[in-house]
Chains A and B, each alone.
Chain A
Amino acid sequence: MSNAWRSSRATVCNFLLLFLSAGGAIPVHATDTLEEIKTRGTLLWGADAEGGAPYVYPDPQKPDQLVGFEHDLAEAIAARLGVKAQMVQNQWDQLVPALERRNFDIILNGLELTPDNQQHIAMSQPYFIYAQQIVTRKESEGLSQLEDLKGKAVGVLSGSVAKALLEKSGGADLRIYPGNVESLRDLKAKRIEAAVMDLPIAIYYAQPDAALKFSGVSFAPGYYGIGIRKEDKTLLVAVNQAIKELAEDQTLERIYRKYNVWDERQVSLKDYKAQAVAEKASISTIREWPKYLPLLLHGAIKTVEISVLSMAVAVIVGLIVVLVRLYGLPPLQWLAKAYVEVIRGTPLLIQLFLIYYGLPEIGIRLNAFCAAILGLGLNYAASEAENYRAGIQAIPHGQTEAALALGMSRWQSLHHVVLPQALRLVIPPVTNDFIAMFKDSSIVSVITMVELTKVYGMLATSTYDYIGLGLMTAGIYFALSYPASLFANWLERKLRYDRR
């Protein structure tokens, strides 16, 4: 599937945990997990409830309770094992590493039965047959199969089967989204022509929407299975047995009908035959750096573009804001102050969402690149305005008086006397912000920008080499920010006027 929605910050956080765990922080469990579950009395199942309908999501009527067909399935399986089910929230694209870290017992969250997944963990018998569905706007014509999407802007979910399918068929202008809700929004905003997603998601989110339609029949069926650690053989047997029984007594059908995801395909669930999966050697990206480094560098170029342009916006807008705040007419002063306080007091993430997904509702449609620069730039402008304000207020009042006494206007004294001194004072904090911008810019991946951290995330989840890629990525970030810091030092030295 995945209905998961990701924030790159949380991703980085998870990676950090992985680094730590690589140092041997995780004890090796010798006990049988099935025994452990029974002793504990709960089955811990990992899933991502954020944007997770209809799989697992907070009940719109009672938001403190979870619902969804996988939620009901987890309860049913737990009941067969004689225990209670408890969901453990985890980012979708990090479910497999989290299972290996023993954060929970099983993954039950639209995990596809693919050789890739079976490399690292064991997979149960399938419990659901999904397929891909093309969704378009109501008025669109002739986009009913994969071939029709060539040359069109198509939204897919990061790390999804749809993305892999479209990459294989080629020719489409792929836009990668952190969640399907976002891709459907952009579809309606006409930023993309079609979205391809797992059928249950399309049923829940796209079918009720009058502006959208299913285009053509669903295709490329596949299986969802439950992920279990390879060593937990008894648990695998027990889970397989539970699934088999739930299918036979039609509990599965009842659950799926309840959530409107039942179709005739599900009847053939029992025909599934497990296939042996060939072991693939694990990948060391550091050893194969000529293959991976260029991909990362490509992302790094985007990061530099975004950071530099955003900072340019921030430095200029910040100056305007501070001048209005300190010297403008009273109502404008108030407005400038409000701008700084509101921007500082709200998360950058939400500001980006409002610019990218909110503005189209009032007719302003920016592409992801412009939205990213505007969002980061306007956000940092508030911080630059404060830097400037501190700098300007540090200049003694006597400087202004001397300029005025010489006949300069208010603006001339500002322009020739106060600002040149204040700007020197603010070089260190502004540089600091610039370096922070390199790193903060990773957040724009939430509005489909593919920059350095995003490339890292995508490569890491497919190669599982978090450490090698992480070191390379960190190295690139450092190589970007250190020269900026050196340049600032040089500039500061060059502009000093208090040499004696």
Chain B
Amino acid sequence: MEMTLQQPFYKRLAAGDWLFAALIIAAAGYSFSLYGSAMDYYEQLILAGSSVSLIALGWFWKSWRWFFPLAGAMSLLAIQLYDHDLARAGQSFGLKFLLSSQTAFMWMCTLFYLATVVYWGGLIARSALLARIGSGLTWSAAAFALSGLFTRWYESYLIAPDVGRIPVSNLYEVFILFCLITALMYLYYEAKFATRQLGAFVLLVISAAVGFILWYTFDRQAHQIQPLIPALQSWWMKIHVPANFVGYGAFSLSAMLGVAQLLARRGILADKLPKPEVIDEMMYKAISVGFLFFTIATILGAMWAADAWGGYWSWDPKETWALIVWLNYAAWLHVRLVKGWRGEPLAWWAVIGLLVTTFAFIGVNMFLTGLHSYGSL
């Protein structure tokens, strides 16, 4: 019997982990030395908090250790190229064709579509090589999305100092956030479960979001940067919105895994897909992460509402639909964990859950009116 030693946590950290931590701390320290005097107490807290979370994420998920610095470097390069002048977006080659936020987002869209096609090719042809290329494309798309968001943040300050704001405050920006988060979560599970066949399914929902982004850009010019109306000028927004999108991303991911599982159980593509039990497990993992973040996001939303609207709960349509989504997945988790359901019924339920989530995400903005003021279509 092998007595595999389970080492204490800190001993399991490799040199790479420490290097990454040092990098993040150096970057945070540098920002602090530059802007510390302009930061209020909350902002200093946020800087410290985000450094810690970034390090934790890097230790927990090894790929983050190169992904985050890469995206960071891309946006730093973009900032360098801008050189405090927004007009350079159209003059500098690097910005115009690669790194300005809008160009980065267009690259993201293209790469996600390519990844979808390649993943499907890999699935049908059972080609491990194609599947690996699919992963690579998804990683690159995610890198463009993250660096694009960072760059857009900087660009908003170039437009006018009072326009500057974090890019998570209208429907266009959160769709990009959605694509980014869903892709990253999928990539995490792909590595963890050592299966690349499911990318074909997950990328479908991302492609749909990309389709929306393209329509929204070309037809509605929604990509233009607008300043924040007073209701959105709150630091709660900075954490409420991203937390919500981890939830939405995870639920969408689980729905697509549900589709894959249903097909596999019916013998369609069964020889090409992983075992249904494996997909089932991934689906559960995704929903449990999503549920946790969605709970946190809803609570943060309530705390924000208490500051902005005078009450932590106003039964505003968006709030109410968040509750519906939450109740739906609470019920899902109960039947799985307490009643022991597995397989097909839960897969169906996860797919239907996507409809509920989608309605809460965009349906409410399209069909219902309420206090949530950003992004009506």
Q: Do A and B come from one complex?
A: no
